[in-house]
Structure 1
Amino acid sequence: MIYYITGGERSGKSRYAQELAEQLSESPYYLATSRIWDDDFKKRVDRHLADRDERWTTIEEEKYLSKVDISNKTIVMDCVTLWLTNWYADSKNDISYCLESCKKELEITFQNASDETNLIIISNEIGMGIHAQTAVARKFTELQGWINQFIAKNAHKATFMVSGLSIELK
Structure 2
Amino acid sequence: MATARVWDDEFRRRVERHQASRGPQWTNIEEEKALSRHDVAGRVVVVDCVTLWCTNFFFDLDSDVQAALAAAREEFDRLTAQDATFLFVTNEIGLGGVSENKIQRRFTDLQGWMNQYIAERADEVVLMVSGIPVKVK
- TM bucket by the smaller chain? over 0.9
RMSD of aligned residue pairs (Cα, Å): 1.2
Scaled by the length of structure 1, the TM-score of the pair is 0.76
Structure 1 residue aligned with 2:51: 81
Map residues 4-153 of structure 1 onto 2, 5 A cutoff.
31-112=1-82, 114=83, 117-153=84-120
Task: Letter of the 1:163 partner, please give it.
Answer: S
Say whether 1:168 aligns with 2:125.
Answer: no
* Partner AA of 2:120 in structure 1: K
- The amino acid that maps onto 2:115 is N
Partner of residue 124, structure 2:
157
Task: Quote the offset at 1:132 in angstroms.
Answer: 1.5
Question: Quick one: which amino acid aligns to residue 45 of structure 2?
Answer: I
Aligned length: 137
Structure 2 counterpart SS, 1:56: coil
Which residue of the partner structure matches residue 18 of structure 1?
A: none
Looking at structure 2, the residues matched to 150 and 62 of structure 1 have their Cα atoms a distance apart, in angstroms, of: 19
Secondary structure at 1:58 match in 2: coil
Distance 1:54 1:107 in 2: 29
Distance 1:66 1:39 in 2: 28
Letter in 2 for 1:34: A
Deviating runs (4+, > 6 A) in structure 1?
A: none
